[in-house]
Amino acid sequence: MKRMTFNDNIYGLVVCGGQSSRMGMDKSLLNYHGKPQRYYLYDILTEICGKAFISCNKEQAKEIPGGFNVIIDAENFGPIGPMGGLLSAFDAYPDASFLVIGCDYPYLQKTDMERLLETDNNSLATTYYNDYEQIREPLVGLYKSDCYDLLKKQFEQNDYSLNHFLKEINATTIIPASPRSIQSVDTKEGYQKAFHEINQQKTLKFEP
């Protein structure tokens, strides 16, 4: 049963991205938790947000079964990466805020996502901070509806960096409970290691 703990006007957005040259395949289809990552994240976001959507391009949308809410990258924003997906989401639902989660973070847990929603502040956006690399993680963050016009302005200036956007608005940053939760995976070797670790942990958890 869905919990109505958080604001119904906050929508979850699973960002698929495109074909990864380093991974050699669509990272949103990698299976760490018993189902493709995009559906695993979608199911979690459905539990903690008013609605959930999969952000993807036209070709990916053809492969997604009915029953999943999809937002296809709008042609007027062009192939500009994650900013295009977020702009397309705001374009479709301008009054909503979006909890944005990328498919690159296999260790990310439901509690990590809930913490972004629970962070009470007046900031336009809140993201996790990668202390090791000294950067914000733009695809693990909450973007409030007021970001929309500012994002469009940056887009019109041909600046498509979400990290730059977050810096310009002085977005709130929070440190993850575990650095591993925001560790991204973008190689075949990284996938194999993460798959082994995640499933080994599950085995240990359920051993008598």
Provide the Cα torsion 182, 186, 187, 191; round to 10°: 50
Residue 138 host element (H or E): strand 135-143
CATH classification (class only), 10-206: alpha beta
Across all residues in the chain, what is the average pLDDT?
Answer: 91
pLDDT at 110 over 80: yes
**What global pTM score does this model have?**
0.92
Tell me the torsion sign for CA atoms 126, 53, 113, 184. Answer: negative
pLDDT at 19 over 90: no
End-to-end CA distance of the chain: 28
Report the pLDDT value the prediction gives residue 4, as an integer from 0 to 100.
44
Report the pLDDT value the prediction gives residue 208, as an integer from 0 to 100.
53
Please give the structure tokens belonging to residue 198. 């995640």
Mean pLDDT across 125-148: 96
Domain ranges of the chain: 10-206
